[in-house]
Amino acid sequence: MVRFNRAFFFINTPFRLRLYKNVARYYPGVDLYFICFDSFTFLSLQAQGYKNTLLIRGISTGLPEASGPDLTALAIRSSEYLSMVMGKKSLICVLQDLKQALTRLELCSADIIFAGNGYHASDLLLKALKPALGFKTIFTELSNIDGKVFFDPRGANANSLLYDIQATFVTEFPPAVNDSTFDKWVASYVEGKMLNNAVRQSAKNNPLKNIGIILTGWLDRLLGVPSLYAQGGAHSIKKGNAYALVKAEPLPQSNFVFVPLQLSNDTQLLINSDYDNVALLRYYCAEAKSAGLSVVVKMHPSEHSLELLATLELVKKELGFYFSKENSFFLASRSQYVGVNNSTVGLEAVLAGLQVKFIGRTFYQAMMGRAFLKSYIFSYLFEADFFSGTIRQPDFLSKVNFLIALDEKYRG
């Protein structure tokens, strides 16, 4: 059993707070540190009695440093910069303050860090520092399978250990269930999705939460904290709900390609694909036209970009596709095939036994094989709920340690 002296939890936004507070319970007797990037999370943790909480304020000069990782390069590769939530200068200041804080903490091989999804600016800094300092990392992401969470020592999707070891994945993670159990699970999963395909992260705006975001934004400005949570939240409120404005229309009964769009600021779309939503749509419309098929498009239920909606409406006049708000599983089941970038909707369609095409970078392409699917769902993913933070994985620590050992095994 790998033992650590300290465990660190990076809370870029309150999104991971519940999950990481529960992860922390698996490390009794270990010094726990919560690294916060907004005042709301920082103050709330302190009020709950968490002593080792650090607030990264991002008040450094932003001038180039003489040594260490190129912070400018890290900033412009980050999801915050690519999604336009934060500017380059603010991100560089955040990274400078974070680097100084980590230097004071003297990170070493006896430390484990639970961070973001591998694409945040802070995640990229950790990856740059990790080889020299030897600490261990675990990144997390939604798996889009209810009750399961993606834990990985390298990152999410095309940036993960899973992506890097696809050839030996099933050997390293033997399927934990037989074919009969798997078939029953898939049948139940598909039935549930046909009845209710709601996206959990697309819950209706909470007025109290919106007020909290605004107040937190003002507090962060007073404290000099370039809060990702406040800026991102205020950005969403300002943008509005584009999906609600989509006008659905009568659809063809068959002979169409179903194209579900990802969020316009989705990290996977911005970093792991050469196509944005509009380019993706043009690609599949051209392919469908050559095959004599129509195209049905569904925007992501959490899409806030009114600019994207306006662009799509113009492109619609040119390409003649259909807008829909129907259940994604229902649309996929009626289509000739599902065309995605690297969306988890593609994974859902694979589970349903439907034809799927991916044009973005993702390991979902490997899941056309039954063994890979069984290993991914029942051996690789963790039994946990990202939103409530509940962890039901009986061998949680040993599974984390196995991932760390596997990361070392395939390093270099």
Binned at pLDDT 50, 70 and 90, residue 283 comes out as very high
String of b and e for 186-223 (b: at least 16 CB within 10 Å)? beebbeebeeebeeeeeeeeeeeeeebbeebbebbeee
- Look at 401 and 15; give whichever has higher pLDDT: 401
Confirm if 341 and 269 have CB atoms less than 8 A apart. Answer: yes
- Out of 206-215, 334-343, 354-363, which region has the weakest mean confidence (pLDDT)? 206-215
Q: What is the mean pLDDT of the chain?
A: 89
Mean local confidence (pLDDT), 44-49: 93
The tokens for 38 are 């907004």
Cα distance between residue 79 and residue 267, in whole Å: 6
Cα distance between residue 217 and residue 225, in whole Å: 9
Q: Check residue 9 and give its pLDDT.
A: 98
What's the predicted TM-score (pTM) here? 0.90
Q: pLDDT tens for residues 123-179?
A: 999 999 999 999 999 999 998 788 999 999 999 989 999 999 999 999 999 999 999
- Out of 138-142, 205-209, 217-221, 388-392, which region has the weakest mean confidence (pLDDT)? 205-209
Is residue 230 scored above 90 in pLDDT?
Answer: no
Q: What is the edge-to-edge ordering of all strands in the sheet holding 148-152?
A: 53-55, 31-36, 6-11, 111-114, 136-142, 148-152, 382-383
